[in-house]
Structure 1
Amino acid sequence: MESAVDVVNKRVIGYLAEEVWTTVEALNAAIDDRVAEINTQIRRADGTTRWERFESDEAPLLAVLPDDGFATVEWKQLKVGRNYHVSCDSQYYSVPYTFAGQLLRVRLTAQSVTLFDGDQVVCEHPRRHGRKGQYSTVLAHAPKEHQGIDGLWSRQWFTDRARGFGPATEQVIAQILDRHVIEAQGYLDCQNILETLGKRSRQRLEAACQVLLNQNSAGSYSVLKRVMASIDSDHKAPRPVVPAAATRKPPPPAGARDDGAIQVRSADHYARGRSGEGV
């Protein structure tokens, strides 16, 4: 390898170093001429050219190039959620529901996401790009009856939990599940609402859900988070400013003496020379 680099440095770069070209095409043509000379005209110690050695020793061993170009591969180990989806780069891909809660190996390319259980391929999805939070769900991966699978998320699992927060929360959770074509796609949103927002304050979550119902608005984690923040801000708003009590003396009643003098005791009390009192 180092010998070949030295040959190119001397017979291509060094040979053409003093010449000037006005176009890239002309330069490439000159380089092609020099490379052709190295490969087909200059003979080695055994009398063969480099091209002759290639045709006799290497060309028969070459395989046909693949139809697709080389793709970089990234491997991850991801846990399957209770909604039988794995989260990868903020996108969600379904697997058969029996793998819920298990760790799977995931092979990522620019075009595909392949999930493995050991060396066995579980499923493959076209890789999603762009907007975060997209779902790639195969209907065959969903169970027929969620309630029959221990620990798996289901509609009843979420509505039962939401009922403990209040009727408004239960209704909003039901609306979120109804809004998705595939019900399981709403599970993660419901989990974040009940586990994250509800953990901070059950009362405020119930109040925020009631606000959405009153406004006939669609519920989601981000919408409820904003409504709860506004409720919290209202509670922390400063109280109205109350004017301080007046310190000015009220005017004297009609007919009262008003010569600016302030009398605490009678004049006789301060008279000098009273018996038994000093100055």
Structure 2
Amino acid sequence: MTNWVIGRLADRRFASLDDLNEAIAAEVDAINDRTPFRGHQISRRNLFAEYEKSELIALPEARWQPVIWKKSKVNRDYHVEIATVKYSVPHTFAGQHVDVKITGHALTVMSGGEVIASHTVSGRRHSFVTEPDHVPAQHLQSADLWSRAYFVRQAHKIGPNTVAAISDLLDRQRIEAQGYRSCQNILALARGDNKQLLERACGQLISETARRAISYTAVKQQLAALRTQAAARPTTTPPAAAVTTALGLEPPPGRRDTRGAHLAGPEQFSLTALTGRQSTSTGTSSQEELQ
């Protein structure tokens, strides 16, 4: 059929694709209605209508879309993270591995072959999509779940300013669990010797003079500013000799002990002073030998 259409239209010129498509459609109709077809007095169209059309099934209501499968683990805030977006599942599945099916804009979370959550794919990066029915009752306590009490308890180990910052962050969430990961990231900034620095940063953020919305990014930026200020602050380093004298340390082997000379003045370095000291030392040693 392709060669037939090309042969019939080879010598014609068209001003647009629409004109070309109309001409192709007309030639295809002519081929389908032409008789005989393969030695029989019947056309392609009539043959299809008589023997094949009745065997066709109805088209699906929705057009075909590619399906993407992913594996994920439900975090302690009962959300799975897909492409930076967190989608909620029933809190009883916290800590479990699940399958995620993405078809177009539909996202389905499955466990053991059963659908446990359905969401619309979010186009906002680093956002939360939380179903209220997935949120546990406030009185529920479980080792598999994060909670306000858990983060406040961890913040108390750092200081009151950190407790106030964590509480402020959670109070501003429409659904409290959506702030749990930020709390976890903020507390992680205290690792090593950074507890006091984190406490200062939180104190500056919650102060009345520089009130800012508490977030992981805000705390991290405040920490960086404090470190920059500390690095720019001038420091004085005492001379090595002064440190040695203050600590009462002996000079390294092979070096003259000049601590007394520094204290007595530069005249102690004169040849007379040094020679007299050596003679006195030698005489004393001789007397000790004679005794």
The TM-score normalised by the length of structure 2 is 0.75
Q: Within 5 Å, which residues of 2 pair with 1:79-228?
A: 79-129=73-123, 131-145=124-138, 148-195=141-188, 197-199=189-191, 201-214=194-207, 215-228=210-223
Q: 1:25 to 1:143 in 2, by over 3 A?
A: closer
**Counterpart in the other structure of 1:232:** 227
Deviations 1:196-246 (A, max 9, x none): x222521211110011122222211000111000111111116289xxxxx
Structure 1 position 116, deviation (Å): 0.4
Alpha-carbon deviation of 1:135? 1.6
Identity of aligned pairs, percent? 36
- CA deviation digits over 1:62-107, x for unaligned, max 9? 2222232222211101111100011111111110001001111001
Taking the aligned partners of 2:67 and 2:177, their CA distance within structure 1 comes to 29
Amino acid at match of 1:85: H
Distance, in Å, in 1 between the alignment partners of 2:181 and 2:86 is 10
Range that drifts further, 151-160 or 43-52: 43-52
In structure 2, relative to structure 1, the CA distance for the partners of 1:157 and 1:44 (3 Å cut) is same
Higher mean Cα deviation, 88-97 or 141-150?
141-150
Mapped contact 1:44–1:50 kept (Cα < 8 A): yes
Q: Is the 8 A contact 1:93 1:135 kept in 2?
A: yes
Structure 1: unaligned runs, 5 residues or longer? 1-6, 242-279
Partner of residue 27, structure 1: 20
How far 1:133 moved relative to its partner? Answer: 2.2
Residue-pair matches, total: 232
CA distance in structure 2 between the aligned counterparts of 1:24 and 1:122, rounded to whole angstroms: 49
Residue 216 of structure 1 aligns to which amino acid in structure 2? R
Q: Is residue 49 of structure 2 the alignment partner of residue 58 of structure 1?
A: no
Q: What per-residue deviation string (whole Å, max 9, x for no partner) do you get for residues 151-172 of structure 1? A: 3100001110111111111110
Residue matched to 2:269: none
Q: Hey, what's the Cα distance between the residues in 1 that align with 2:228 and 2:30?
A: 81
Distance 1:208 1:114, change over 3 A: same
Match for residue 44 of structure 1 among 37, 41, 66:
37
Q: 1:44 to 1:121 in 2, by over 3 A?
A: same
Q: Give, in angstroms, the shift of residue 175 of structure 1.
A: 0.7
Aligned residues: CA RMSD:
1.9
Give the residue type in structure 2 aligned to 1:90.
T
Runs (5+) with no aligned partner, structure 2? 237-291
What letter matches 1:150 in structure 2?
Answer: A
In the TM superposition, structure 1's runs of 4+ consecutive aligned residues that sit over 3 Å from their partners are none
**Partner amino acid for 1:120?**
E
